[in-house]
């Protein structure tokens, strides 16, 4: 899964100087959009990097390392 920005969902792609100003004005004016995009960004990071996902991977690395001694 790509980890980059999903335009309009978790952030915005580069839009040039004028475009960024409009985006920021829109975000300032819309707290619901800020909250929705923030939550979407958090999920996009939390899902692949959660303890539930990473713990078994870490356990395998440790078991493989210990098994080599």
Span 4-31, pLDDT tens digits: 888 889 988 877 878 888 899 999 999 9
Q: How far apart are CA 45 and CA 7, in angstroms?
A: 15
Q: Supply the Cα-derived Rg of the chain in whole angstroms.
A: 19
pLDDT of residue 25: 92
Could you give the number of structural domains in the chain? 1
Q: Residue 46: pLDDT above 70?
A: yes
In a domain, 6, yes or no: no
Q: 48 pLDDT band (50/70/90 cuts)?
A: confident
In a domain, 11, yes or no: no
pLDDT over 70 percentage in the chain: 93
pTM of the model as a whole: 0.63
Domain with 26, as residue range(s), is 16-67
In a domain, 28, yes or no: yes
| Cβ pair 34, 27 in contact under 8 A | yes
| Cβ pair 9, 40 in contact under 8 A | yes
């Amino acid at each position: 899964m790509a980890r980059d920005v999903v335009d309009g969902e978790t952030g915005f792609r580069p839009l040039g100087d004028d475009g960024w100003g409009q985006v920021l004005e829109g975000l300032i004016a819309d707290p619901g959009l800020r909250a929705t995009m923030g939550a979407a960004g958090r999920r996009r990071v939390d899902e692949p990097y959660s303890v539930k996902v990473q713990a078994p991977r870490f356990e395998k690395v440790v078991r493989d390392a210990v098994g080599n001694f």
